[in-house]
Amino acid sequence: MPAETDNAGVASSPPQAGAPPVQSSVPLYEGPLVEALDAESPPPTKGKHRKTAEGYHKGLSPRHVQMIAIGGAIGTGLFLASASRLQQAGPSLAIIYALCGLAAFMILRAMGQLVMYRPSSGSFVTYAREFLGEGAAYTVGWLFFLNWAMTGIVDITAVALYIHFWPAFIDIPQWALALGAMVLVGAINMAGVRYFGEIEFWLALIKVLAIVTFLGVASWIFGSGHHIDGHAPGLHMIADYGGFFPHGVGPALWLLQGVVFAYAATELIGIAAGECENPQEVVPRAVNSVVWRILFFYVGSIILLVLVLPWSAYQAGTSPFVTFFGKLGVPYADSVMNFVVLTAALSSLNSGLYSTGRVLRALAIGGSAPHAFARLNRNAVPYVAILATLAIYVIGVVLNYFIPSQVFEIVLSLSSLGILGTWACIILCQLRLHHEIKKGHIPPTGFAMPWAPYSGYLTLAFLVLVLGMMAFDFPAGTFTICAIPLLAVIFWVGWKILNHFSDDDDDETEEEEDDDDEGTFTTLPPKAVKSPHHHIHKPKMPGSATTSPAPKQGQAPS
Pairing between β-strand 537-538 and β-strand 529-530 as defined by DSSP bridges: antiparallel
Mean of pLDDT over the chain: 81
- Note the pLDDT of residue 533: 38
Q: Please tell me whether the peptide bond between 453 and the residue prior to it is cis, using omega within 30 degrees of 0.
A: yes
Residue 507 has pLDDT above 60, yes or no: no
Mean pLDDT of 238-261: 93
Q: Where are the domains of the chain?
A: 53-468
In contact, 274 and 58? CB cutoff 8 Å = no
CATH 1.20.1740.10 matches 53-468: yes
Residue 406 has pLDDT above 70, yes or no: no
Residue 501 has pLDDT above 90, yes or no: no
pLDDT in tens, 250-288: 999 999 998 999 898 888 999 999 999 889 889 999 898
Distance CA 154, CA 408 (A): 10
Beta strands, E only, 344-497 = none
Number of helical H runs and strand E runs in the chain: 23, 4
The tally of CA atoms less than 13 A away on the side-chain side of residue 518 is 0
Residues whose CB falls within 8 Å of the CB of residue 361, separated by 6 or more in sequence, listed in order = 121, 122, 373, 374, 376, 382, 385
Q: Which long-range contacts (CB under 8 A, 24 or more apart) does 27-31 make?
A: 27/538, 28/118, 28/120, 28/126, 28/130, 28/538, 28/539, 28/541, 29/538, 29/539, 29/540, 29/541, 30/538, 30/540, 30/541, 31/526, 31/540, 31/541
- Note the pLDDT of residue 72: 75
Mean pLDDT of 459-464: 97
Mean pLDDT of 506-533: 41
- Note the pLDDT of residue 42: 38
In contact, 69 and 286? CB cutoff 8 Å = yes
In contact, 39 and 133? CB cutoff 8 Å = no
- Note the pLDDT of residue 404: 67
User: 539 falls in which pLDDT band (50, 70, 90)?
Assistant: very low
Question: What is the residue type of 332?
Answer: Y
Element (H, E) at 39: helix 32-40
pLDDT in tens, 309-329: 999 999 988 899 999 999 999
In contact, 294 and 97? CB cutoff 8 Å = yes
- Note the pLDDT of residue 14: 36
Distance CA 348, CA 154 (A): 10
- Return the closest-CA partner of residue 377 out of 40, 2, 57: 57
> What is the pTM for the complete model shown?
0.82
- Note the pLDDT of residue 551: 38
- Note the pLDDT of residue 76: 79
- Note the pLDDT of residue 36: 32
User: 552 falls in which pLDDT band (50, 70, 90)?
Assistant: very low
- Note the pLDDT of residue 519: 36
User: 408 falls in which pLDDT band (50, 70, 90)?
Assistant: low
- Note the pLDDT of residue 401: 73
- Note the pLDDT of residue 197: 94
DSSP 459-501: HHHHHHHHHHHHTTSTTHHHHHHHTHHHHHHHHHHHHHHHHHH
